[in-house]
């Protein structure tokens, strides 16, 4: 990045946020400083960003989240979409990218902002700031395969504490790809944590029927396998839906994790 430092113009600086601008390419480069954020300060800084975004009519933005440690509250997701992303779309901003930081939960909350609101933008995530900038400026045309390097997996069991640490070593180019899968795994863990007690309310027979339903069996085939009537199976289905607080089969599919 040393080759672009001289071309940068600092538009804004506070305790929490620094916003640089590359006028040649109309590229905004906001970077969080790492100072502790609250919902109030985060909102205030985002308003500053919006003001400068509209003033410069920036075409692209690369957010540096290297030091971003704030888990964006879900109530702010829609506000970000309406007050930041939609105005960006109105001034014809094309690309939004993020340089990932070390705080995993903070990065997850950023991804959730766009996914939960079905945002007008589908940002890309990078581990290398230079590659992010090249992408924003349409210079990155590499044909190399980032998955050529093998992943190293190490499991450290701590029997006395009853815990285990999983360490994954991969190339920096692979990180953004696997980060999304890690987020899915984290979301699954959150669901299991919230739903385990509900699942344990099921009788062994109800669990057996649930497993068959989730494998795609109809009430008729379930009844045939369990040597019972379709009416009995349907009665169990109703009880399963009630206990798991699910409205239909689609919502039951989340419980595949327990199979």
Q: Provide the whole-model pTM.
A: 0.70
Say how far apart CA 147 and CA 46 lie, in whole Å.
36
Say how far apart CA 174 and CA 184 lie, in whole Å.
16
Question: Which pLDDT tens digits describe the chain residue by residue (259 residues)?
Answer: 444 444 789 999 999 999 999 998 899 999 999 999 999 999 999 999 999 999 999 899 999 999 999 999 999 999 999 999 999 999 999 999 999 999 999 999 999 999 999 999 999 999 899 999 999 988 655 566 777 778 888 888 888 888 988 888 877 677 777 877 888 888 888 888 889 999 999 999 999 999 999 999 999 999 999 999 999 999 999 999 999 999 888 889 889 888 7
> What are the domain boundaries of the chain?
2-136, 188-259
Contacts of 226 (CB under 8 A, 6+ apart): 208, 209, 212, 233
- Domain 188-259 belongs to what architecture? Orthogonal Bundle (1.10)
Pairing of strands 8-13, 17-22: antiparallel
> CATH homologous superfamily of domain 2-136?
STAS domain (3.30.750.24)
What is the pLDDT at residue 2?
Answer: 42
Crossing angle of helices 204-214 and 230-244, rounded to 10° = 100
Tokens at residue 109, please? 């909350």
What is the pLDDT at residue 141?
Answer: 56
């Amino acid at each position: 990045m040393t080759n672009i430092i001289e071309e940068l113009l600092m538009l804004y600086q506070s305790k929490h946020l620094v916003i640089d601008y590359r006028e040649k390419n109309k590229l905004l480069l906001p970077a969080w400083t790492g100072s502790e954020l609250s919902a109030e300060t985060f909102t205030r800084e985002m308003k500053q960003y919006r003001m400068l975004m509209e003033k410069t009519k920036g075409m692209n933005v690369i957010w540096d989240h290297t030091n971003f440690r704030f888990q964006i509250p879900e109530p702010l997701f829609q506000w970000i979409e309406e007050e930041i992303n939609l105005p960006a779309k109105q001034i014809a901003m094309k690309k939004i990218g993020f340089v990932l930081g070390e705080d995993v939960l903070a990065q997850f909350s950023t991804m959730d902002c766009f996914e939960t609101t079905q945002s007008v933008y589908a940002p890309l995530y990078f581990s290398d700031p230079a590659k992010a900038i090249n992408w924003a400026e349409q210079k990155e045309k590499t044909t190399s395969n980032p998955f050529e390097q093998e992943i190293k997996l190490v499991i450290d069991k701590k029997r006395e504490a009853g815990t285990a640490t999983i360490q994954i070593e991969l190339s920096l180019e692979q990180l953004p790809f696997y980060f999304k899968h890690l987020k899915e795994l984290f979301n699954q863990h959150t669901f299991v944590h919230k739903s385990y007690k509900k699942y344990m309310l099921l009788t062994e027979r109800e669990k057996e029927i649930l497993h068959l339903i989730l494998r795609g069996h109809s009430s008729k085939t379930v009844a045939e396998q369990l040597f019972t009537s379709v009416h009995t199976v349907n009665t169990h289905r109703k009880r399963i839906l009630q206990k798991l607080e699910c409205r239909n089969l689609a919502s039951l599919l989340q419980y595949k994790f327990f199979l």
